[in-house]
Structure 1
């Protein structure tokens, strides 16, 4: 693990099974493309080491935080296919889509061995995600009903 924000450590892509992450994204019609260490990450909104997105592809390096890879993937997952194809770096300016992406990344973290929602929420807090109840967990458990309903209405939550 490496520092992503200050001295706090977050789980990195190289810390988990990259094949598991690629398989999870493939289930949603996305491709995970590895980028060599030190190389620029195509489509990265926040800059290295954060994940990037272009079309249906998520780009990440070994030092990319898992939460970043999942978040950017979820931005693509919540979009209809015709909008996905047009994405380059910035997936949305929609608050409902942003909230849905945050919610879905937490849910999908349970599908990654060695990750899980508890670790992902802690890493989101470490990185600096901001929720009005003060933490990712508080938002997810007590204030994310609109995001959950948005995802359910589009059949985007796993059964």
Structure 2
């Protein structure tokens, strides 16, 4: 019998300072939201993270993958477009793919997270890819997303 999957890793499960520091390195602010309060700028609704301008809003029950995903939406945008963002930042499929790729890469910068855990959480949450899993997409089908990021100086060549 398979062991039950661990619960989705949430912001309350990691050091908030680590997440805030990671976002700060990309010119973003992580704004904690009190438990039970509405999350400003949340596209999908609570407990999903929200974005307004250069701020990512998240509660303790916000999944880490959601906080990273919304932050990466802002990171992939040119700085002049970030200021105008409110709730929805995606302009194209290419930006969405780049966002998904970058959130996996950045997970390695968060102690206690890492890409393997993040990809498992993305699958458990319901992200879908034509190869059947986030890992398969990332390892076998995401060359275009990686190249998009490289061309914009967001990943090393």
Count of matched residue pairs:
153
Of 39, 42, 45, 1:41 maps to: 39
Where do 1:71-110 residues align within 5 Å? Answer: 71-110=69-108
For structure 2, the residue ranges without an aligned partner over 5 or more in a row are none
For structure 1, the residue ranges without an aligned partner over 5 or more in a row are 1-6
Alpha-carbon distance in structure 2 between the residues aligned to 1:158 and 1:131: 25
- Contact between 1:32 and 1:57, CA under 8 Å: does it hold in 2? yes
Query: How far did residue 8 of structure 1 move?
Result: 6.5
2:145 aligned partner:
147
- Contact between 1:13 and 1:65, CA under 8 Å: does it hold in 2? yes
Alpha-carbon distance in structure 1 between the residues aligned to 2:107 and 2:155: 12
Where do 1:7-156 residues align within 5 Å? Answer: 9-156=7-154
Give the RMSD, CA atoms, in angstroms: 1.2
Structure-2-length-normalised TM-score: 0.95
Alpha-carbon distance in structure 2 between the residues aligned to 1:133 and 1:23: 33
- Contact between 1:8 and 1:126, CA under 8 Å: does it hold in 2? no
Alpha-carbon distance in structure 1 between the residues aligned to 2:110 and 2:6: 22
Structure-1-length-normalised TM-score: 0.94
Q: Secondary structure at the match of 1:9?
A: coil
1:4 aligned partner:
none
| Structure with more of its chain in strand, by fraction | 1
Q: 1:18 to 1:119 in 2, by over 3 A?
A: same
